[in-house]
Amino acid sequence: MHKESASEFAELVNIISNNVNALQALNIQASLSDVIISQIITEKVDSTTRKAWELKLNDLPFLPLKDFITFLEGRRRALESLNPGKVNSQSDTRLADGN
């Protein structure tokens, strides 16, 4: 949305409704929130991780969010073992702050 207007909200609701209907038509056996969260995560990860995830999906349209989180944890462990001295200082800071 670019500005607050009835037509912009109508378009947004239409897009959301069409996408929800499309997901339901695919008969995906997962919650809508899992699908949405997984899509957001997919857009945030680096291209190498995204490619690895897409290859893991193979021909499946979707895997449960818990499988995606398990996959990401496996990537983290692999990267930590390959670069033991290179842990992201930002995540260390967040852990120290309790966030």
> What are 54-78's pLDDT values in tens digits?
998 887 877 888 999 999 999 999 9
C-alpha distances in Å from residue 88, one per residue of 11, 60, 79: 40, 32, 11
The predicted model scores a pTM of: 0.61
Q: Residue 89 above 70 pLDDT?
A: no
- Vertex 46 angle, CA 78 and 65, to 5°: 75
Q: Which pLDDT tens digit goes with each residue over 27-52?
A: 766 777 888 888 889 888 999 999 99
- Residue 28: phi and psi, rounded to 5, are -70, 130
DSSP state at residue 71: H
Q: How many domains does the chain have?
A: 1
In a domain, 16, yes or no: yes
In a domain, 1, yes or no: no
In a domain, 94, yes or no: no
In a domain, 93, yes or no: no
78 SS3 class: helix
In a domain, 75, yes or no: yes
In a domain, 51, yes or no: yes
Q: Are the beta carbons of 52 and 41 closer than 8 angstroms?
A: no
Full domain range(s) for residue 39: 6-87
